[in-house]
Every structure is written in structure tokens, then in C-alpha cells.
Amino acid sequence: MESHVPEPTFTLEGWHILHDFRRLDHAAWFSAPQEERRAAWEELREILKEWEKAEAEGKGSFGVYQVITQKADLLFLNLRENLDALLEVEARLNKSRFARYLSPAYGFYSVVELGSQTGPLDPEAPYIKPRLTPKVPKTGYVCFYPMNKRRMGQDNWYMLPAKERAELMKAHGETGRRYQGKVLQVISGAQGLDDWEWGVDLFSEDPIQFKKIVYEMRFDEVSARFGEFGPFYVGKYLTEEALGRFLGGL
């Protein structure tokens, strides 16, 4: 009997992404001398300018967010051309004065991914590059969560034929397209890079849209049968001015 070997998904990879969630030691920060806090803030502003420069040069994108709940206080989200650039970003923040008042809350490393179940994508197609090098909106809110595709018994995503996977993902994509203009989605692959297989970023001006799109997608077979989801993190974008207010009116 001829055995069936499922074909892997064809993928194109783009920018590398670091989700760096931190907790702020509020007691230590707000009890520190004013001169110390001012020096830490000025250095942090220099770091933000470096990130702005990288974005202006087309070498990445970034966003800083105030995170709701006790899972974290801040998210430093950075996209860069490669892992080495992200390592520099992470090290720069870790060595700063401000980092003395931060502790790790959660981190996730992944690479922007476009997938096709039916054949290779054309990297020269005009709609491809912007999707592989997405710009972080400088307003609104973010929802991030990691996820896997289930591998249990008959619900084993990786044992499905490519044609069946394509049909399931097509239906899933139709749900997402109904939120076009309301939610920007960025999917990143993390197989072999982190503890989950994908990272999902949703950006919107209205956080209620996160609830709506995730709930509606749960009824798609690809999520209902094969989706396994990690923790959800939601935050509000902080301009430099808003970040200063969050840190005590600096």
C-alpha cells in the first residue's frame, strides 16, 4: 500500500521580531533620586531615537506599549532584518540605566512569515514585501499571543494533505478579511526558535475588535480542531510623551 507523506507548507520569511515584555519596579523607580530617574529617562529617549532611525532607514520597526493586567507593565516590540540586529536591540536596553528598574515578564522570538499550502510564493510580487516587512502602527492597541497547531490523534495538522490544509486556511482567511480596515494581523513563525510554533500580533484602534475577531475565528474548523493558544497580552501604544507620563511625568 502506498503511504501518504504530507507536504510541508511553502513559506517566505521576512523581518525578525522580538516581543520583550517587562515589569517595572514601581517602588524602586519612584523612590529613586530625581537626578537618577532623569538620567535613565534621557538614555531611554536616546534608545527610542535609535529605533526611530532604524525604522526611517527601512531596517525595522518598533512600538512601546503599556500592558494591561499584572502579566507585564511594558512591551518593547522590535522588528529587524536579522537576529543579530535584535540581539543588539536587546543588549542595548539591558545595559541601560532604566533596565535596573525592569525585570523580565515574558519574551518571544519569531520571524514574519507568509505561507502557502499550494506552491511557492513569488517574493517579487508587489504585495509580498510589505507583508514581510510590516510597520508597527504608531497609535492604537496591540494584542499578542503565541499558538500551535494541534498534533493529537485524528486532529494532527501535520498529517493532513496539503490540499485539505489549504481549504481550511482559506476559510480561516475569509474570517480575517472581514476585519480588514479594523484589525491589522501580523503572523510570525517560531518553529525551532521559541516554545510555540507561531506568534500572532493584532493591531487595532479599538481593543474590542480583538475580542470579536478571535471569538469568530474560534468557529473556523482550523481553530476549533487544530488551534492551541498561549497567553494573551494586550497593550496600548505609548508615544514618547505618553511613556514619559507613565514614568511619572518626566
How far is it, in rounded angstroms, from Cα 140 to Cα 148?
27
Dist. CA 26–CA 34, nearest whole Å: 14
What the block records as the C-alpha cell of 188 is 510570525
Supply angle C-alpha 146, 148, 154, rounded to 5. 160
Paired residues of 19 in beta bridges: 77, 108
Distance of CA 174 to the CA centre of its chain: 21
Cα gap 44→138, rounded to integer Å: 18
Contact call for residues 131 and 14 (beta carbons, < 8 A): yes
Catalytic residue among 65, 109, 141, 145: 145
Rounded Cα gap, residues 38 and 192, in angstroms = 41
145 is catalytic: yes
DSSP 185-201: EEEEE-TTTSSSSEEEE
Q: Nine-digit cell at 129?
A: 514585501
- What are the catalytic residues? 145
